[in-house]
Amino acid sequence: MLLTPGHSPRHLSSPSPFAISDSSVQMPRSSSQITSRNPRGHPTVLDEDTFVAAIEKKIERDFFPDISKLWDRLDWLEAIKTRDPGQIHDAQLKIIECHNFTGQM
């Protein structure tokens, strides 16, 4: 009688194509084959000002995506406060260029 299914004497199991033999396993020959290397090489150490500037850019990009528009509007409001037609014109052009670049109106 059969104790477990699949172990019938009629069906002889063939060796698995995924079976690993001791001769197919190769051991590394040196320690350099064991250690993995960092694909980027050595990390770059940034000075504090560069690091803070990079973090500020990422925070602005991720949490305040419209901040450039707000800065342009602030420039425009400050130009209006000075009543200088040249500054007002430059600020307006900056806002128009920003809207044309992003496709908004």
Q: Is 49 exposed, middle or buried (0-12, 13-18, 19+ CB in 10 A)?
A: exposed
The interaxial angle of helices 67-82 and 85-102, nearest 10 deg, is 160
Interval 57-87: pLDDT, tens: 999 999 999 988 899 999 999 999 999 999 9
What's the chain's Rg over C-alpha atoms? 34
Spatial contact of 76 and 95, defined as CB atoms under 8 Å apart: yes
Q: Report the distance separating Cα 92 and Cα 59, nearest Å.
A: 27
Domain spans of the chain, in order of start: 65-105
What is residue 44's predicted lDDT score, i.e. its pLDDT?
84
What is residue 41's predicted lDDT score, i.e. its pLDDT?
78
Spatial contact of 79 and 90, defined as CB atoms under 8 Å apart: yes
Q: Is the pTM of the predicted complex or chain greater than 0.85?
A: no
